């Protein structure tokens, strides 16, 4: 790409730490060499209460009405609501949830129209964001629907560890019936394709975790490994893919066996996210693989408990922004190579 990618930023729930971690990230003007950040919201409402940088320079934005008017090489903000409302840090309200939805929807519309090259989403409250026009358990499900993908993949990424999940925001009791051969194969195909096209790994090695303790102990502790997981792995190996398992999750992470693989596929949300956040919480990034667009986010939530204290760590959000830049460029290079 000849120009830095235009990265949209949705602000999340304004009562959480979203505005703070965005502000702290954008204070470092060096990132303007790598992208043009476009925040979806009114800069004065979002950032006026935060201090200037250590040199006393305030963070200034070009406030515009449309993404077509953004100024490359500068922080931009796109107005996506006109009403004036008060925000109390740590206290989510109907207004803060509505603003989160409006910010996300405006950014996604511009991304779909080609006015942006990627998207970074600040944390929302899944409960506080619900509305008649937003009935989704999280960003991943909304983005999958909005961009017309049949399936997507929650993919947690850090420098040393990549973990994806077969199922996402569903009740644990529903996992065994959701994990079918078809779904598992689909998720593994998305993961393999993403490792090649988004991360430049031409022959990726992938590990698959078991569902039951000790990966079922050959059927003694559960049949899902024998009936579902192993047949899918064997077929992929037959087709020439380096996919192995199923591995017992506790020993796999406890012995750091993940270091032998380019990515790990967990079968449900907490099986993958608990070890990932234990190992890589501060620098971890959530990437939605399988979409026609690039979307990343920090791997934490709204953190209402520290909102307004200016104590939030912006590392994960900063990593999400830089990863979005890298993925946009990598995907463009992969596309050019195929042509």
CATH number of the structural domain spanning residue 272: 3.40.718.10
CA 47 remoteness from chain centre: 23
pTM of the full predicted structure? Answer: 0.93
> Do 263 and 127 share a structural domain?
no
User: Taking the chain, what is the end-to-end CA distance rounded to the nearest angstrom?
Assistant: 15
pLDDT in tens, 289-311: 999 999 999 999 999 999 999 99
pLDDT at position 222, please?
87
Which H or E run contains 157? strand 153-157
Same-domain check for residues 16 and 116 = yes
Number of domains forming the structure of the chain: 2
The pLDDT value given to residue 22: 97
Domain finish residue from 272, 288, 304: 288
Question: What is the structure's pLDDT at 101?
Answer: 95
For residue 57, give Cα distances in angstroms to 34, 79, 144, 260, 318.
21, 23, 39, 46, 20
Let me know whether 298 and 254 are in one domain: no
118 and 208 housed in the same domain:
no
pLDDT < 50 regions, the chain: none
Cα 331 to Cα 270: distance, rounded to the nearest angstrom: 29
Report pLDDT for 54.
67
**Helix ranges, the chain (H):** 18-26, 43-47, 94-112, 139-146, 175-178, 181-197, 224, 230-238, 249-254, 269-280, 315-338
Q: Are residues 133 and 39 in the same domain?
A: yes
| Parent domain of 264 | 151-288
Cis check: omega of the bond before 133, within 30 degrees of 0? no
In sequence order, what DSSP letters do the residues of 79-117 get, joined into one string?
Answer: ----------TT---HHHHHHHHHHHHHHHHHHHTTS-S
């Amino acid at each position: 790409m000849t120009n830095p990618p235009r990265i949209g930023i949705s602000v999340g729930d304004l009562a959480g730490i979203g505005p703070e971690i965005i502000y702290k990230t954008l204070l470092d003007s060096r990132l303007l060499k790598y992208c043009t950040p476009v925040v979806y919201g009114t800069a004065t409402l979002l950032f006026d209460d935060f201090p200037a940088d250590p040199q006393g320079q305030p963070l200034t934005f070009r406030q515009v009405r449309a993404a077509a008017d953004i100024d490359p090489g500068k922080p931009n903000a796109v107005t996506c609501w006109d009403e004036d409302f008060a925000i109390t840090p740590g206290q989510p309200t109907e207004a803060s949830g509505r603003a989160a939805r409006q910010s996300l929807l405006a950014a996604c519309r511009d991304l779909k129209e080609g006015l942006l090259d990627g998207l970074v989403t600040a944390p929302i409250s899944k409960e506080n964001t619900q509305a008649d026009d937003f009935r989704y358990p999280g960003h991943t499900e909304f983005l999958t629907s909005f961009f017309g993908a049949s399936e997507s993949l929650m993919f947690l990424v850090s420098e040393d560890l990549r973990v994806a999940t077969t199922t996402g925001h569903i009740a644990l009791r529903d996992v065994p019936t959701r994990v079918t051969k078809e779904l598992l194969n689909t998720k593994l195909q998305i993961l393999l394709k993403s490792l090649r096209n988004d991360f430049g790994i031409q022959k990726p090695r992938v590990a698959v975790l078991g569902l039951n303790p000790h990966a079922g102990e050959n059927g003694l502790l559960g049949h899902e490994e024998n009936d579902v997981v192993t047949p899918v792995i064997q077929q992929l190996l037959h087709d020439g893919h380096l996919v192995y398992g199923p591995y017992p999750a506790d020993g796999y992470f406890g012995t750091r066996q993940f270091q032998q693989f380019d990515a790990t596929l967990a079968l449900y949300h907490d099986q993958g996210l608990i070890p990932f956040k234990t190992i890589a919480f501060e620098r971890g990034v959530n990437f939605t693989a399988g979409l026609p667009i690039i979307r990343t986010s920090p791997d934490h939530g709204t953190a209402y408990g520290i909102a307004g204290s200016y104590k939030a760590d912006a590392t994960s959000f900063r990593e999400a922004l830089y990863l979005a830049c890298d993925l946009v460029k990598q995907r463009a290079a992969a596309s050019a190579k195929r042509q």
